[in-house]
Amino acid sequence: MAAAPGGSAPPAGPSPRLGFSTADSGVGMSGLNPGPAVPMKDHDAIKLFVGQIPRGLDEQDLKPLFEEFGRIYELTVLKDRLTGLHKGCAFLTYCARDSALKAQSALHEQKTLPGMNRPIQVKPAASEGRGEDRKLFVGMLGKQQGEEDVRRLFQPFGHIEECTVLRSPDGTSKGCAFVKFGSQGEAQAAIQSLHGSRTMAGASSSLVVKLADTDRERALRRMQQMAGQLGAFHPAPLPLGACGAYTTAILQHQAALLAAAQGPGLGPVAAVAAQMQHVAAFSLVAAPLLPAAAASSPPGGGPGTLPGLPAPIGVNGFGPLTPQTNGQPGSDTLYNNGLSPYPAQSPGVADPLQQAYAGMHHYAAYPSAYAPVSTAFPQQPSALSQQQREGPEGCNLFIYHLPQEFGDAELIQTFLPFGAVVSAKVFVDRATNQSKCFGFVSFDNPTSAQTAIQAMNGFQIGMKRLKVQLKRPKDANRPY
């Protein structure tokens, strides 16, 4: 297929068959591939880019020039996809990595081929990635695994140039590492074989093996974190409607609890209260804060008086809600927006608690059908759920015994009544995508967190009771 060097070649160049549908694949028709005779290249072989090649030279012409440095695995002249025209450059892979290095140092910018006015280029192809595409981020390692352990794990896939376990200042592993391979291919092979393949001792999820972030991705990540921080410091006020039907179920449940605590005589009061002003409803939520006070308070407060709720708690705990609450004529929005899982209290319904759970279940199963938050206030939930993971000390709750069907959205809905939720995260098994039935909720202030604990710890759902407590600080019993 040697196109006559020089000469007046026909403008169309090589025939379509030889021209280039397979420029980049392993065994292109027009490429020079030793084939079965030399099937193997080193696992850490380097693909070279060769530039400043005269248009008249094809693979056969170039071969002798490069064979000098070692056995060639593949040599492919790049041609225009459409016209088939020689692009003046080629990809070259030697069987041995060493050959590539020798060729590069001997040829790169060291000589100029006939007819060219710039020296030949011989360097690792851009696709080899300038380091980034061979560098892996490894996550979910066991804390006790060191560099040697990681090396052992990755060694079968190629030549490891670099291996670093990330550590805290005190030397303990962060459970992740960087591994840099000699080539992109090796790195990819490791990803293929190892990612998700096993769970290391002491890790909470299966092994993560992926390309490390590029500089650009890292910058982007930083930006996002910054944005998240800003959002946390300026939480958008919560429109009351955003609390949604789900909240209603909880309110009614709380009303039922209160009614029970106060004895049969006051039952109807609480039940009615749940359907009255939202101010009253939210007060009822907070009431379990002081169960002792409520239970032992003298029967002095009349039927219209809500027992044992200090004003400061109401203000601090539900601060963001207050303005909207005051502006609302009543609870009509909750019941009339068509989003409530069940209508206002009907006389025949026996157990408000069961009812509450039914409503919850309903909501959890079809979050998008209700989605009052995201529909009415699209900017709101994203600000809450996206980035920032933790609130200040004392603002982060660990919640256990969540219903299996609970997702982040349901978690938010559940804790929204107690304050501004900075983030809510249900833990999900990587492999199955199933909830692990525990999660975290972060508020922007400790009072909300305490209120939520008081109100929701022990909250019964089906056969389970929620366990709601402050998240264990990670430096709990750290020696110093």
Partner DNA sequence: TATGATT
Longest pairwise C-alpha distance within the chain: 111
Q: How far is 293 from 258, CA to CA, in rounded Å?
A: 12
Q: Classify residue 462 as left (phi > 0), alpha (psi -120 to 50) or beta.
A: left
Closest distance of CB 389 from DNA, Å: 4
Of the pair 63, 401, the CB lying nearest DNA is at: 401
Q: How many CB atoms lie within 10 A of CB 311?
A: 7
Closest distance of CB 361 from DNA, Å: 15
Of the pair 46, 441, the CB lying nearest DNA is at: 441
Tokens coding 252: 């009614």
Task: Look at residue 69 and give its three-state secondary structure.
Answer: coil
Closest distance of CB 166 from DNA, Å: 6
Of the pair 47, 425, the CB lying nearest DNA is at: 425
Of the pair 69, 440, the CB lying nearest DNA is at: 440
Of the pair 248, 396, the CB lying nearest DNA is at: 396
Identify the sign of the CA torsion 195, 198, 202, 203.
positive
Q: What is the DSSP letter of 79?
A: E
Of the pair 390, 405, the CB lying nearest DNA is at: 390
Work out the angle at residue 13's Cα, subtended by the Cα atoms of residues 12 and 16, and round it to the nearest 5 degrees. 85
DSSP codes, 162-187: EEEEEE-TTS-EEEEEEEEESSHHHH
Closest distance of CB 395 from DNA, Å: 8
The candidate with the shortest Cα–Cα distance to 31, out of 42, 18, 46, is 18
Strands 135-139 and 208-211: what pairing?
antiparallel
Task: Look at residue 183 and give its three-state secondary structure.
Answer: coil
Strands 173-181 and 160-167: what pairing?
antiparallel
Task: Look at residue 15 and give its three-state secondary structure.
Answer: coil
Of the pair 85, 428, the CB lying nearest DNA is at: 428
Closest distance of CB 247 from DNA, Å: 21
Closest distance of CB 132 from DNA, Å: 10
Of the pair 24, 161, the CB lying nearest DNA is at: 161
Contact residues: DNA, CB under 7 A = 137, 139-140, 166, 174-176, 178, 204-205, 208, 210, 212-213, 218, 221, 389-391, 396, 398, 400-401, 423-428, 436-438, 440-442, 464, 467, 469, 471-472, 474
Of the pair 159, 467, the CB lying nearest DNA is at: 467
Closest distance of CB 179 from DNA, Å: 11
Closest distance of CB 30 from DNA, Å: 39
**N- to C-terminal Cα distance for the chain?**
75
Burial letters 171-198, b for 16+ CB under 10 A, else e: eebebbbebbbbbbbbbbbbbeebbeee
Q: Within a 13 Å sphere around the CA of 183, how many CA atoms are in the beta-carbon half?
A: 21
The candidate with the shortest Cα–Cα distance to 48, out of 66, 61, 33, is 66
Closest distance of CB 150 from DNA, Å: 12
